[in-house]
Amino acid sequence: MKKILSFFGLIAIVATLSAQDCSDLFISEYVEGSGNNKGVEIYNPTDEIVPLGSYYVARYSNGNLTYESGGITQLQGFLYPYATHFLVNGQTVTTETSPACDPALQAMAQQPDHDYPAPTYMNGNDAIALFKDPVGAGDVNDFLVVDLFGIIGGGMQSSDEGWTDFTDAWAYKTIYDADTISGYDSTYIQNYIVPDSYYWLPWTSNHSLIRKASVKAGVTANPDPAFVVTMEWDTVPGGVNQWDFIGSHTCDCEPSNAVETSFEEDELEVYPNPARDYFRVDARMPMEELILYDASGREIYRKNHTSGVLGVVIETDNFPAGIYQLKVRFKEHAQVKRVMIL
């Protein structure tokens, strides 16, 4: 898969996508702790079970226009309605130049990131993008932008609330207010000029940030003129390495009278399981759609039954051995079953 997405290519992709409230995944928490205590939480604001194999997280390092040096990671598994998926820095060994991620933070995650370069090696001044591959071929040219944190090709504003464009020699001054930004001493920086370097400030460095409950959709266009953090994000109280909100997210998309998805064991039967050449699916009520996903969350089979059926046979002799997830959609809800193919 091509690993470079230019900023100009991004503009073309963004133009094809119109974000609707509560219609697609978005970034719900940004964990930028000390060392490699980093992670990105993804939230599902829909009432559907979403296979994650079609989604990718990418990092645009230090104001770059491509993610070549920042890395990209394909998400794995499934995300249930109004639930979260946490991608954590996967480094487990401390080296001379790079510390291991805290095991306690890694234990909170559904997915560890891959080796450097990877999206979860951000340092506050890196833009993070959430992509969707609607075709499922893994071709970056098909990717859609469903959310952005920061500005691709941009850096921090001269305030503690946002970003602005870089220049080769960029001067700024600011006051880090120890009364409002926990963990920082009051420091006055004036006319600090370092050509070809990048800068970040307390709101996006060494802080955990959580999306406001009023946000119902991701940012699908590069912010212009600047990414103002406080418009959509709140800082998690307590300063560096605060992870109390990981694992759930409060969002206005979730209805107060939401109906729990039914997963009655006797509602759906799959046999033989493990399966070798085929398996049969029987249900107590009409099934309208059956979808089979591999272990990475990629769709490999789909069959629609608009009039509804009570029994279906799925041939598996061409599928590789492994663990699969079968999603069965009924009229008002869906159910997922694990299937092993030998």
Q: What is the pLDDT of residues 169-226, one digit of tens each?
A: 333 333 333 333 333 333 333 333 333 333 445 578 888 899 999 999 999 999 877 7
Question: What pLDDT score does 31 carry?
Answer: 96
Q: How far apart are CA 85 and CA 247, in angstroms?
A: 7
Paired with 111 in beta bridges are 87
pLDDT (mean) for 226-230:
84
Indicate if the pLDDT at residue 229 is higher than 90: no
Angle at 341 between CA 335 and CA 342, to 5 degrees: 160
Indicate if the pLDDT at residue 306 is higher than 90: no
pLDDT (mean) for 148-167:
69
pLDDT (mean) for 261-275:
70
Domain 265-341, second-level architecture? Sandwich (2.60)
Looking at every residue in the chain, the average pLDDT score rounds to: 79
Domain map of the chain by residue range?
7-235, 265-341
Question: What pLDDT score does 331 carry?
Answer: 82
Indicate if the pLDDT at residue 329 is higher than 70: yes
Indicate if the pLDDT at residue 100 is higher than 70: yes
Q: First CA to last CA across the chain, in angstroms? A: 29
Which stretches within the chain are classed as H helix?
A: 7-14, 103-106
3-class secondary-structure state, position 120: helix
Paired with 31 in beta bridges are 39, 208
Q: What is the phi/psi pair of residue 11, to 5°?
A: -60, -40
Indicate if the pLDDT at residue 30 is higher than 80: yes
Question: What pLDDT score does 168 carry?
Answer: 35
DSSP 8-class letter at 331: S
Sequence-distant contacts of 314-319: CB under 8 A, at least 24 apart:
314/278, 314/279, 314/280, 314/281, 314/290, 315/277, 315/278, 316/275, 316/276, 316/277, 316/278, 316/279, 316/341, 317/276, 317/277, 317/278
Higher pLDDT, 113 or 295: 113
Indicate if the pLDDT at residue 159 is higher than 70: no
Question: What pLDDT score does 324 carry?
Answer: 86
Q: How far apart are CA 258 and CA 46, in angstroms?
A: 11
pLDDT category at 335 given cuts 50, 70, 90 is: confident
Residue type, 11: I
DSSP 8-class letter at 267: G
Q: Is the peptide bond between 272 and the residue preceding it cis, with omega within 30 degrees of 0? A: yes
Q: How far apart are CA 306 and CA 329, in angstroms?
A: 11
